[in-house]
Amino acid sequence: ERGWLAEITHSERSTGGAPLNVLLTLAKMHVGLPLQAVGLIGEDSDGDYILAMLDQYHVNRQRVQRTTFAPTSMSQVMTDPSGQRTFFHSPGANRLLDLPAFDRLDGSLKIFHLGYLLLLDSLDMPDEEFGTRSARLLAQMRDQGYETSLDLVSRKGDPRYQPLVLPALRHLDYLVINELEAGEFSGLEIRDGHDALNMAHIADAATQLLAAGGRQRVGIHCPEGAWGEAPGEKGQWVPSWKLTQDEIIGSVGAGDAFCAGFLYGCHESLPLTESIYLAHACARASLLAANAIDGAKT
């Protein structure tokens, strides 16, 4: 609560962020897929730590570059007794990540996952032809034969949501976001005054996102479950696995774990409902650990 002291009862260091969490979750699941990281980190101990984690889980890091112009991006994540979290973020080197970093990627890979829009300053810049540089990047990846996926950041009241996200949606195959992000994009109230889900608005938000350019699948997840939608298919609500409050250690990586499971289902051409069930299983495992990847299982 503002103005009052809150005691920190436990702290630990861990990797984080959408691309890294998804990659390391898939690596710990032993899915047998080739995994490659692309990014920009500082010449500092945090950068060393990220490279060591990628090596530990055998993720290809040849395209992870280093810079002396900015420190490695970092976040302080505060988790309350209910498992909900608040992020204090320093963008660091992520501000400098730009199109040349993605030249000539491994053509044997299938899905290109970009995160986070609204935190990558160079890629969020305007582009005369595509609207934003991130939209240009996603279009280039699709032209090279990749299926494309995108993650947003949960940022309340950011007026850039639609201007920055809409151009990218036109070049997306998969979009997996939470209900807060869906509400920011669509302008719909996803929860009522009693914090209950408005299922009609979730469905409307998914339809909007699909109509805006999602070519294959849109998933909107929240603690209660997930709504999945695909062209030519009826939208589906799949409840999540139930956990007691005492079982939940942390939710910092649950969304990325959900995304990892969902994208693996897409990669393997599993039906939409099966992909969501797998995503829920990954999210449930993540909730049983304090950081973003320790809960991931085979």
Per-residue pLDDT reduced to its tens digit, 201-211: 999 999 999 99
- Read off the pLDDT of residues 236-273 as tens digits, 9 standing for 90 and up: 999 998 887 878 776 767 889 999 999 999 999 999 99
Looking up residue 219, the CATH number of its domain turns out to be 3.40.1190.20
Question: Residue 247 is part of which domain span?
Answer: 21-31+98-287
- What's the rounded Cα separation, in Å, for the pair 116 and 114? 6
Domains held by the chain: number: 1
Of residues 116 and 60, more confidently modeled: 60
Task: Answer yes or no: is 88 within a domain.
Answer: no
Task: Answer yes or no: is 219 within a domain.
Answer: yes
**DSSP structural state of residue 72:** P
Look at the pTM and tell me if it is higher than 0.75. yes
Task: Answer yes or no: is 87 within a domain.
Answer: no
Task: Answer yes or no: is 170 within a domain.
Answer: yes
Task: Answer yes or no: is 105 within a domain.
Answer: yes
The confidence score (pLDDT) of residue 248 equals 79
Please give the biggest Cα pair distance in the chain: 53
Of residues 177 and 84, more confidently modeled: 177
Task: Answer yes or no: is 66 within a domain.
Answer: no
Band (pLDDT 50/70/90 cuts) for residue 110 is: very high
- What's the rounded Cα separation, in Å, for the pair 78 and 75? 10
Lowest mean pLDDT among 73-87, 128-142, 198-212, 284-298: 284-298
Q: Is the pLDDT at 294 greater than 80, yes or no?
A: no
Task: Answer yes or no: is 52 within a domain.
Answer: no
The length of the chain, given as a count of residues: 298
The confidence score (pLDDT) of residue 72 equals 98
Structure tokens at 27: 């690596």
Task: Answer yes or no: is 296 within a domain.
Answer: no
Structure tokens at 268: 């393997």
